[in-house]
Amino acid sequence: MSDNVEKYIKRKVYEKENSRIAQKFVDAGLEKIRSCINCGTCTGSCPSGRRTAYRTRSAIRKALTGDESVLQDIDIWLCTTCYYCYERCPRNIPVTDMIIKLRNIAVEEGYILDNHFNLADKIFYATGHGVPATGEDNKKWRDLRESYGLPPLPPTVHTHPEALKECQELMKSSGFRELMDNVAEKKKKAQEEAERQKEEVKDK
Amino acid sequence: MTEIQEEIKVTAKDVPRIGVYVCHCGINIAGVVDVVKLKEYASTLPDVVLAREYKFMCSDNGQKMIKEDIEAGLINRVVVAACSPRMHEPTFRLTCKEAGLNQFLFEQANIREHATWVNMQDPEGAYDIAKDHIRMAVAKARKLVPLQVQKVKVEPSCLIIGAGIAGMNSALDLADEGYKVYLVERSPTIGGHMAQLDKTFPTMDCSACILTPRMVDVARKKNIEIMTYSEVVDVSGYVGNFEVTIMKKPHYVDQEKCTACGACVEYCPVVCGNEFDLGMGTRKAIYIPFPQAVPGEYTIDMDKCIKCGICARTDVCEPEAIKYDDKPEYVKVKVGTIIVATGWDLYDPTELEQYGYGRYLNVITGLQMERLLSSFGPVLGKPVRPSDGKPPHTIAFLQCVGSRNFREGGNTYCSRVCCMYATKQARQYKEKHPEAEVYIFYMDIRAFGKGYEEFYESAAENYGIKYVRGRIAEVYGGENDSIIIRAEDTLLQTPIELEVDMFVLSCGLEARADSDKVSSLLSIQRSADGFFMEAHPKLRPVDTLTDGIFVAGVAQGPKDIPDTVAQAKGAASSAAALMAQGEVEIEPYFSVVIEHLCSGCRSCQSLCPFGAIDFDEFKKIAVVNPALCKGCGTCVSACPSGAMVQNHFANFQLNSIIEVALKQPTIENGGK
Amino acid sequence: MSDEKKWRYAFFLGCVAPNRYPMIESSIRAVFDHLGAEILEMEGASCCPAPGVFRAFHIPTWLVIAARNLTIAEELGVDVITGCNGCYGTLRDAWYELIHEPELKKMVNEHLAKVGRQFKGSIEPKHIVQAMYQDMGLDYLKGFVKHKFKDLKVAVHYGCHILKPSDKRPWGGAYENPTFLDEIVEITGAKSIDYKEKFMCCGAGGAVRTAVKEVAADFSREKLVNMREAGADIVIDCCPFCHLELDLGQFEANNYFKDIIGEPLNIPVIYLTQLLGLSFGIDPNELGLIKNHDLKGVSPFIPIDPFIEKVKEELL
């Protein structure tokens, strides 16, 4: 096709087959998503949608119609899980749980923000806390605790190394460790692919 | 006209000669089990002299098969293995009767609903169950004895509960056909909710203009006895012979003496909220609900009356009609049929806190908007905002409020009329204020009836009403009591915020709050949605499952006025058909007392839920009234002497079914 | 009899409270002790795990770690209390799902068995607000009020996960316009004022703060501007993460959105038990209200001195 035609003709085939993503929902027992009638109550209730490009209803619709771009979109990560959509849906769909499931699928396929990946892998797995107080960088927080008469570290995994080991064992057992490793792999591949494409363009 | 043969004499002493007919029912049965094998199985059973199979036993040819066998003297009992007896038991009974065999020597084995339809993935299991059913039916057939149907007279009068547009139309038709009608209405006037409407869609007829002439008609007809401000408190009896007790609530105003001059209203010092105007208008303690009320006589609301005595003064009420010591009056009537036309309640949106009903002044329901638009309403047809009395410039309607809601405790059904009434109200407002901006927020627009789609199209094209596809998520209050709406315009995929002067909730229709009381009073059922249940959703829309009781109008389910009137006329026709025959057949499933076994303990009498058992003081035994007995079997199980026998379901008949059912296991491993 | 504690709870700390806002932890300890409740430590507890992030990454892991935390309390034989909406959300939702779905419980216990634990569902996870409002009751709490604030206007922020999903919460399905937190605040004499979008989310949760700070900061900007317009003296919240978002987030909003907010926001953000403690006459040091260090770059990020100054006179 000549350049001109490519610019204007964008053939988009509407995937009428059972959406791969929708099937995952059904398999997970979340088939309720299919009764969505697109009334828009969810988007209308969404405090994030009012200030970002996130559209609750559209995310659900894309999942149902097989628009895979929804998994790579940052928009589904801008939901604060305030649960208003869940409470008000007239079809009684647990909307927030659907968005969480979409995020699960995205992570499985390697689509996760770097911030989140570091939080999961380097902080949560490593320390057992999402917001830790151990390490050099966090000395001021330990000092702050002491200034209020509390022990520098709380009686959590921070002061019970065997408990941290337990958590890590559980995370290996539940598949979390494997998931993180897979994601790291996929991210590395994606980065290499991006670099390769940059080179290709440069060569041109 | 099929010739009915004279009945062949068959007694219990005769050797049973059973004919078994296995139906294919198209693929419903034959698609799951091998009907030929079933037929062969049937022919191996004791006392079965012949077994046949056919595609559709209920067809003429199928019935002919049975008739020929009876007339040829081959069989004296018939078993048809097919669908549920609820479908075709009457059909096959008539077949037997026409061929000269007593119709109660017939038994139907349900191998469709109970075997093939529920085991479509398991043909072997279905086959085993079908065999069981045939074997059990044959066992019962062996023990069947001839019975005669009872005939009872049908009173040529009808009780209609509810005098809205449905009740009134049924009343008019029945009265014209010559039947006596008792029209009982709870409020002080007939007319129902339709009297609250201003214009009706799609013709924009003024509701009062088409309703009030009918109201006057109803009042004029000699055959209709109107009992307003009355309630049905007791119903007993059976089809054709209902005994009804009606409580006429005290008006505290002598209805004969009152001339409806209205002088009392001017003097009454009590001002209270007006139910007719849904709290937006006022009335006095002595009142009529609206100007064109029928009957036009006044009523005192004793909860609000302060008994000041002013209205009773002779210079105020010249006919001296005030009666502070009025008491309720109880009336007993006997009717042959009953029509339930009790109408609906509007859904109360207070629980949907996100819409602010009850918190923000300018959020109102669709019915309240209707009263604002009404020319004899609280603002004489010029709608204004409740907060400041000024006409709103921007109005938003929200559809499906309280309907199509699958949340816990929500009404899942569509209320059918709201899309049209909102369009109508929007159009009415635009007619009065062409410069106004009117929005209708919807999930779907349902404009299904005659002229409805055109009405909807015109609303957008000619009146500029803006339809936004997006259900409103929440509202909050703005300055000057405005309402700020949040929704998503789903077609543009954008969240929107809109400030409006007035927010109208198009609330749906619900079954009346006391439907459960009416249900138990009349022994009729309600569907899952709360409305009264029709006998069959497709083929018997105005009958209930209780013989002689019919239902019409929104009492059966949400519908618009044309459908309500059609259904009311249908109910009247069904009631008339029953009354025209003058008598009705009752199935002979009643209990019979074996006199020499009865010890006179009267346990049965105290337990009978239908009051069908009397005590013969002379013989000192129980006596069953066959017409009242519904064959529930309570007395049979209660009788300590075993003196009660239930026709067609006697212990010896049931025991034989149980025996054959238990003898042969059908589940290979673990079956008993 | 005087030593016998009326209520015994296992205190689940979470992450943000102990590790970033320790004054919240100390004020909860002080107030509950004062109210006659015994606090048991949950030794070896971990992150709940945070619902917005970890449930979004992998649900089975979230369930297993949450169940592990609950087993620590089960071993102590007492209900859990937490002062964090996020931890409450996780512990409560996980507990609810596990006790209602035998398949899930079985799966979780298969993992827990590997570390010698078993989830039974024998104790209930509660929010401290739930414990105070339902277990103890308002009348009981009122009995401890020594001082009623004279002219304190409070913008109460409920947050989200204490209320929703409403079917798994103990408030009878109410979530649009509850009043229980306002009622608790008002026993101190403070006035809970109405402000626009009172029940809106703070913006931190659902992994949004960790994803894009600016988006979360915009939520807090909107809420705080509304509170300012309504004349609030302070914000009261019952969740350390909301507390962080309204405090540190306020600081960030002043930076990101300086063009649209006009004057920089400076509303002190106070945790519920800090206010209650003051009203009950507890030493403000125990409530973490007095700054007694020279550390830089620690909480609170919006100075609470204006609040202390305002009420000092009354209290002394």
- Residues of chain B with Cβ-Cβ distance to C163 below 8 Å are none
A91's CB contacts (< 8 A; 6+ apart) are A32, A35, A36, A37, A39, B406
Q: Are C242 and C272 in contact (CB under 8 A)?
A: no
Residue-wise pLDDT tens digits, C117-150: 999 999 999 999 999 999 999 999 999 999 999 9
Strand partners, B106: B78
**Domain covering C146-315 assigned CATH 3.90.950.10 in the classification:** no
What is the DSSP code string of chain C? --SS-SEEEEEE--SHHHHH-HHHHHHHHHHHHHTTEEEEE-TTB-----IIIIIHH-HHHHHHHHHHHHHHHHHHTSEEEES-HHHHHHHHHHHHHHHH-HHHHHHHHHHHHTTT------S-EEEHHHIIIIII-HHHHHTT-----SS-EEEEE--STTT-SGGGSSSTT--SS--HHHHHHHTTT-EE---TTTT---S-TTTHHHH-HHHHHHHHHHHHHHHHHTT-SEEEES-HHHHHHHHHHHHHHHHHTHHHHSSPP---EEEHHHHHHHHHT--TTTTT-S-----SS-S-SS--HHHHHHHHHHH-
Out of A113, A128, A176, whose CB is closest to C47?
Answer: A128
Polymer length in residues for chain C: 316
Out of B354, B408, B471, whose CB is closest to A39?
Answer: B471
The predicted pLDDT at position B670 comes to: 45
Task: For chain C, give every residue range classified as CATH 3.40.50.11810.
Answer: 146-315
| Residue A16, pLDDT above cutoff 70 | no
Distance from CA of B402 to the nearest CA of C (A): 17
Q: Which of C5, C13, C73, C10 is nearest to C37 (CA)?
A: C5
The predicted pLDDT at position C4 comes to: 67
Q: From C58, which residue of chain A is nearest by alpha-carbon distance?
A: A104
The predicted pLDDT at position A204 comes to: 66
d(CA C100, CA C63): 13
Residue-wise pLDDT tens digits, B443-490: 999 999 999 999 999 999 999 999 999 999 999 999 999 999 999 999
Do domains B250-326 and B591-647 share one topology? The answer is yes
d(CA B174, CA B115): 44
What average pLDDT does the segment C241-252 reach?
A: 97
The predicted pLDDT at position B305 comes to: 95
Q: From B402, which residue of chain A is nearest by alpha-carbon distance?
A: A90
The predicted pLDDT at position B75 comes to: 94
Residue-wise pLDDT tens digits, A102-156: 999 999 999 999 999 999 999 999 999 999 999 999 999 999 999 999 999 999 9
Residue ranges per domain, chain B?
18-147, 157-249+329-343+512-579, 250-326, 345-510, 591-647
Q: Which of B243, B155, B163 is nearest to B552 (CA)?
A: B163
The residue type of B226 is I
The predicted pLDDT at position A153 comes to: 97
Q: Are A16 and B457 in contact (CB under 8 A)?
A: no
Q: Is the peptide bond before C49 cis (omega within 30 degrees of 0)?
A: yes
The predicted pLDDT at position B626 comes to: 84
Q: Is the dihedral of CA C166, C169, C173, C179 positive or negative?
A: negative
What average pLDDT does the segment B526-551 reach?
A: 94
Residue-wise pLDDT tens digits, C172-202: 999 999 999 999 999 999 999 999 999 999 9
C251 interfaces chain A, CB cutoff of 8 Å = no
User: Across B508-612, where does the E strand assignment appear?
Assistant: 509-511, 549-551, 583-586, 591-593
The predicted pLDDT at position B611 comes to: 79
| Strand B106-110 to B613-616 pairing | unpaired
- Residues of chain C with Cβ-Cβ distance to A164 below 8 Å are 46
| Residue B665, pLDDT above cutoff 80 | no
Q: Which of B19, B82, B21 is nearest to B50 (CA)?
A: B19
Annotate A78-104 with b (16+ C-beta within 10 A) or e (fewer): bbbbbbbbbbbbbbebbbbbbbbbbbb
Q: Do C211 and A78 touch (CB under 8 A)?
A: yes
- Residues of chain A with Cβ-Cβ distance to B492 below 8 Å are none
Same domain, A119 and A198: yes
Name every residue in A having a CB less than 8 A away from some CB of B. Answer: 35, 37-46, 49-50, 55, 57-58, 84, 88-92
| Residue C70, pLDDT above cutoff 50 | yes
Choose, out of A39, A50, A51, A78, the residue to mutate when testing the contact with B (most B CBs < 10 Å). A39
What average pLDDT does the segment B614-638 reach?
A: 90
- Residues of chain B with Cβ-Cβ distance to A89 below 8 Å are 407
Instruction: Give the confidence band of B309 by pLDDT, cuts at 50, 70, 90.
Output: very high
**Token pair listed for A32:** 């309720």
Q: Do A40 and B354 touch (CB under 8 A)?
A: no
The predicted pLDDT at position A202 comes to: 82
The predicted pLDDT at position B671 comes to: 44
Supply the angle between the helices C102-113 and C59-76 in degrees, to the nearest 10. Answer: 80
d(CA B607, CA A111): 71
Q: Are B276 and B285 in contact (CB under 8 A)?
A: no
Choose, out of C11, C13, C19, the residue to mutate when testing the contact with A (most A CBs < 10 Å). C19
Q: From A150, which residue of chain C is nearest by alpha-carbon distance?
A: C26
| Residue A13, pLDDT above cutoff 70 | no
Hunting for tokens 């040529």 — which residue is that?
Answer: B156
**Among residues 26-45 of chain A, which lie with CB inside 8 Å of chain C?**
none
Q: From C27, which residue of chain A is nearest by alpha-carbon distance?
A: A148
Strand partners, B494: B489
Is residue A6 situated within a structural domain? no
The predicted pLDDT at position B669 comes to: 39
d(CA B422, CA B449): 15
Chain B touching partners, 3 or more CB pairs below 8 A: A, C
φ, ψ of residue A86 to 5 degrees: the values are -60, -40
d(CA C309, CA B257): 78
- The residue among A63, A81, A108 that closes a domain is A108
**Among residues 200-259 of chain B, which lie with CB inside 8 Å of chain C?**
none
d(CA B353, CA B123): 53
Q: From C85, which residue of chain A is nearest by alpha-carbon distance?
A: A82
Q: Are B363 and B506 in contact (CB under 8 A)?
A: no
Average pLDDT of chain C to the nearest whole number: 95
Residue-wise pLDDT tens digits, C291-311: 988 999 999 999 999 999 989
The predicted pLDDT at position B412 comes to: 97
Annotate B50-72 with b (16+ C-beta within 10 A) or e (fewer): ebbbbeebbeeebbebbbebbee
**Token pair listed for B115:** 């075997």
Choose, out of C23, C43, C47, the residue to mutate when testing the contact with A (most A CBs < 10 Å). C47
Out of A51, A81, A163, whose CB is closest to C52?
Answer: A81
Q: From C18, which residue of chain A is nearest by alpha-carbon distance?
A: A154
**Among residues 124-163 of chain C, which lie with CB inside 8 Å of chain A?**
160-161, 163
d(CA B89, CA B429): 57
- The residue among A70, A93, A108 that closes a domain is A108
Out of A116, A149, A170, whose CB is closest to C53?
Answer: A116
> Which CATH number applies to B591-647: 3.90.1170.50, 3.10.350.10, 3.40.50.720, 3.30.70.20?
3.30.70.20
Q: What range does the domain containing A191 cover?
A: 114-203
The predicted pLDDT at position C3 comes to: 55
Chain A touching partners, 3 or more CB pairs below 8 A: B, C
Residue-wise pLDDT tens digits, A66-96: 888 999 999 999 999 999 999 999 999 999 9
What's the angle, vertex CA B48, arms to CA B44 and CA B52, rounded to 5?
A: 85
Domain count, chain A: 2
Q: Are C52 and C207 in contact (CB under 8 A)?
A: yes
- Residues of chain C with Cβ-Cβ distance to A157 below 8 Å are 44-46
Instruction: Give the confidence band of B668 by pLDDT, cuts at 50, 70, 90.
Output: very low
Residue-wise pLDDT tens digits, B176-231: 999 999 999 999 999 999 999 999 999 999 999 999 999 999 999 999 999 999 99
C151 interfaces chain B, CB cutoff of 8 Å = no
The predicted pLDDT at position A5 comes to: 81
Distance from CA of C59 to the nearest CA of A (A): 8
Q: Do A74 and C111 touch (CB under 8 A)?
A: no
The predicted pLDDT at position B238 comes to: 87
Fold of C7-128: Glutathione S-transferase Yfyf (Class Pi); Chain A, domain 2 (1.20.1050)
- The residue among A83, A108, A133 that closes a domain is A108
**Token pair listed for B283:** 């009335």
The predicted pLDDT at position A1 comes to: 55
Q: Do C176 and B408 touch (CB under 8 A)?
A: no
CATH architecture of B157-249+329-343+512-579: 3-Layer(bba) Sandwich (3.50)
The predicted pLDDT at position B9 comes to: 78
Chain C touching partners, 3 or more CB pairs below 8 A: A, B
Same domain, A20 and A103: yes
| Tally of CA atoms within 13 A in the half-sphere of B485 that contains its CB | 27
| Residue C243, pLDDT above cutoff 60 | yes
Q: Do C167 and B354 touch (CB under 8 A)?
A: no
| Strand C269-271 to C234-237 pairing | parallel
Q: Which of A44, A183, B354, A97 is nearest to C206 (CA)?
A: A97
| Residue B110, pLDDT above cutoff 90 | yes
**Of A55-69, B581-595, B656-670, which gets the smallest average pLDDT?**
B656-670
CATH architecture of B250-326: 2-Layer Sandwich (3.30)
Average pLDDT of chain B to the nearest whole number: 94
Average pLDDT of chain A to the nearest whole number: 92
C176 interfaces chain B, CB cutoff of 8 Å = yes
**Domain covering B18-147 assigned CATH 3.40.50 in the classification:** yes
Q: Do B354 and A46 touch (CB under 8 A)?
A: no
CATH number at residue A59: 1.10.1060.10
Q: Do B353 and C177 touch (CB under 8 A)?
A: yes
DSSP secondary structure code for residue B357 in this structure: B
Same domain, A27 and A82: yes
| Residue C1, pLDDT above cutoff 80 | no
Q: Is the dihedral of CA C41, C46, C47, C51 positive or negative?
A: negative
Q: Do A170 and C296 touch (CB under 8 A)?
A: no
C196 interfaces chain B, CB cutoff of 8 Å = yes
Q: Which of B158, B153, B154 is nearest to B177 (CA)?
A: B158
Is residue A3 situated within a structural domain? no
d(CA A72, CA A107): 9
d(CA C3, CA B202): 77
d(CA B13, CA C46): 84
φ, ψ of residue B619 to 5 degrees: the values are -80, -15
Q: Do A107 and C288 touch (CB under 8 A)?
A: no
> Which CATH number applies to B345-510: 3.40.1190.20, 3.10.310.10, 3.50.50.60, 3.60.20.30?
3.50.50.60
Q: Do C167 and B476 touch (CB under 8 A)?
A: no
Q: Do C61 and A176 touch (CB under 8 A)?
A: yes
